[in-house]
Amino acid sequence: MSEIALMDERQRRIRSRNRALLLLLLGVVALFYLIALVRLGVWS
Amino acid sequence: MSPPALDTAAVALSRATPRDFVPAVGDYVALLKPRVMSLVVFTGFVGLYLAPGHIHPLLAAVAVLCIAVGAGAAGAINMWYERDIDALMERTRRRPLPAGRMAPADALGFGAVLAVGSVIVMGLAINTAAAALLALAIGFYVFVYTVGLKRRTPQNIVIGGAAGAFPPMIGWAAVTGDVSVAALALFALIFFWTPPHFWALSLYRAGDYAKAGVPMLPVVAGKAETKKQMLIYTLVLWPVAVAPALLHATGWLYGAAALALSALFTLCAVAVLRDAGDGAARRMFGFSILYLFLLFALMAIDRAPGLLAVAGIGA
């Protein structure tokens, strides 16, 4: 029982870490896109 | 999941090999020292706000974000290096590394990637001067303070305090591309504020520091000498705190408030000097954070004519 609980906890942590990483990567892409717009004078 | 199952999981996790570590997202956040980061972000923002010139709001936000991430990265690398002494101190033993929730290499990699990333983004999006200052601040905190000074000398936080003083200067450089005397005054304010702030903490945590072998001033020179030094630093802060007004980076409102707040800070130090217990030191530590926060908030308010007009003070 405790082994199963431990595996569940491990899987939950891996999933939440992967989601956080995905959000971070999307955020970085969006950030670079917006910086490019400002630097190019498109959005002044 | 029931509490006994959680206990079992915690025990199993503590016995895991490095490959088995699966830190929670919160552990990565804790590595960034969010409470320290909040003051760094605020002072960095005020430096950026006070600087003469114009910066696009998005680029201003990116600059503050880079300062925050750079500070967090330095904190993560600091936690990696100090994991042995963190395990010995009550205040720090529940951090992700000493608590066994994260592999040391993960923390180092996380910190290094964020440090390099924040400097690169600052350089690409803002300017070279701000990026160079950010790199200097991170390098100073990691190599000079953490590796070089902290375990060797009671002057660790006096010299090391420079690392925490960089953010307003970085914010200023993000707008102007250089460093002026007014930016140096903001640097000096945090530099001279750091010793009484940290020594107040180390007065009531002296046992912890002694146990970990960290030569903080109360451990090496005694509490009486530390209290005397704290009083001297609060007196030095009077002219330093007023300097931004004298240099016309702020107005009279800030100058008057800086004098009043510095007087209160000195009174706190006098109370610590007279107190045989820990109460006054705890109160001074709390007030020191409020002191710095209020000074920087007042600098921003003093430079916002609209806010003063709304308050009926006039600009």
Distance from CA of A30 to the nearest CA of B (A): 12
B9: chain A residues, CB-CB within 8 Å: 2, 5-6, 9
ipTM value of the model? 0.81
If we measure between CA atoms, which residue out of B313, B188, B203 comes closest to residue B258? Answer: B188
How many angstroms separate the CA atoms of B77 and B138, rounded?
Answer: 10
The predicted pLDDT at position B9 comes to 43
Report yes or no: B108 at the A interface, CB cutoff 8 Å: no
Report yes or no: B25 at the A interface, CB cutoff 8 Å: yes
B8: chain A residues, CB-CB within 8 Å: 2, 5-6
What ranges make up the beta strands (E) of chain B? none
For chain A, which residues score pLDDT lower than 70? 1, 44
The predicted pLDDT at position B277 comes to 87
**Residue span of the structural domain in which A4 resides:** 1-44
Q: Flag if A5 and B5 touch (Cβ within 8 Å).
A: yes
Q: Which residue has the tokens 């002296």?
A: B206
Please answer whether residues B37 and B68 qualify as being in contact, where contact means their C-beta atoms are separated by less than 8 angstroms.
yes
In B, minimum Cα distance to A14 occurs at: B22
A38: chain B residues, CB-CB within 8 Å: 56, 58-59
pTM: 0.87
Best to test chain A binding among B56, B113, B122, B127 (most A CBs inside 10 Å): B56
How many angstroms separate the CA atoms of B11 and B303, rounded?
Answer: 55
Give, for all 315 residues of chain B, the pLDDT tens digit. Answer: 344 444 444 444 445 555 567 788 899 999 999 988 999 999 999 999 999 989 999 999 999 999 999 999 999 999 999 999 999 999 899 999 999 999 999 999 999 999 999 999 999 999 999 999 999 999 999 999 999 999 999 999 999 999 999 999 999 999 999 999 999 999 999 999 999 999 999 999 999 999 999 999 999 999 999 999 999 999 999 999 999 999 998 988 999 999 999 999 999 999 999 998 899 999 999 999 999 999 999 999 988 765 555 555 543
Please answer whether residues B171 and B45 qualify as being in contact, where contact means their C-beta atoms are separated by less than 8 angstroms.
yes
Report yes or no: A38 at the B interface, CB cutoff 8 Å: yes
User: How many Å from the N-terminal Cα to the C-terminal Cα in chain B?
Assistant: 60
The predicted pLDDT at position A43 comes to 74
Q: Flag if B62 and A35 touch (Cβ within 8 Å).
A: yes
